[in-house]
Chains A and B, each alone.
Chain A
Amino acid sequence: MAVKVIIPTPLRAYAGKQESVELQAGTVGEALAALTARFSDLKKHLYADDGRLRSFVNVYVNDEDIRYLQKDQTRVREGDTISIVPSIAGGARN
């Protein structure tokens, strides 16, 4: 399936300065794997060292959060749009 992944502005420098990338994938996990295979510098900003998506990185298929679907096993259909949206978190003390 051809799906479109919207690249958030802060990460475009690691994705050939593109606003979006079209990929072939059957699931969200496959789409993100294909994305980070094509643009390897993206990986460390999306995934923690343990291979999981960073806790502040949220992924949506069309407008639905994949946490409430089947996470990275969420099926995608032709023409779906995958969005990567951060939560912004921080604080004074470690």
Chain B
Amino acid sequence: MTAATSLKINGDLLRRIQAHGVETYPHECCGALLGCDADGSREVLDLLPLANRRNDSPRNRFEVTPGDVLLAEKTARESKMELLGWYHSHPDHPARPSEFDREHAWPWYSYIIVSIDQRVPRDTTSWRLRDDRSAYDPEAIESAAHTATS
């Protein structure tokens, strides 16, 4: 399937997302994607790792509270970036969005999912929700050459 959108991110940042997933295994990790989006060209320039607030079921659920969303927006704004989306891990599960993911998403955001299989990072994918909320479309992950800002 050809992805209609793409997301640039460099290898250092991708490895940080994977390392976060390994660190929190067997629980899901989560965090914010900060960067720039201009004329449909979207690039992640930094991450804001966040705590998974879903204490009752952290192995197969994650939650970022509104307070942490506002923190991510503020962090992006102060660095003259935008809050582009979110990442989370799927411990021992494929890097595909679930129905639960779809019901709790908005379009425009990029949603990166990394699968962690017995503490080993496997696939990393990115997705965007369709305008009509019917499904996610895969988003191509392109490697970027620059160095992470932190």
Q: Using a CB–CB distance below 8 Å, which chain A residues touch chain B?
A: 8-11, 13, 41, 44-45, 54-56, 58, 65, 85-94
Which B residues touch A54, using CB under 8 A?
103-104
Q: Choose one: B30, B59, B66; the contact of A58 (CB below 8 Å).
A: B66
Assess whether B121 is interfacial by the CB under 8 Å rule: no
The number of residues on chain B lying at the interface, defined by a beta carbon within 8 Å of a beta carbon of chain A, is 38
Given the interface contacts A44-B132, A58-B66, A94-B99, does A89 sit within 8 Å of B83 by beta carbon?
A: no
Interchain CB contact under 8 A, B108 and A10: yes
Given the interface contacts A13-B107, A86-B106, does A92 sit within 8 Å of B60 by beta carbon?
A: yes
Given the interface contacts A9-B83, A94-B100, does A87 sit within 8 Å of B133 by beta carbon?
A: no
Which A residues touch B92, using CB under 8 A?
92
Interchain CB contact under 8 A, B106 and A10: yes
Q: 30 A-B Cβ contacts within 8 A? A: A9-B83, A10-B106, A10-B107, A10-B109, A45-B106, A45-B107, A54-B103, A56-B104, A85-B66, A86-B66, A88-B62, A88-B63, A88-B69, A89-B61, A89-B62, A89-B63, A90-B98, A90-B100, A90-B101, A90-B104, A90-B111, A91-B54, A91-B60, A91-B88, A91-B101, A92-B90, A92-B91, A93-B98, A94-B98, A94-B100
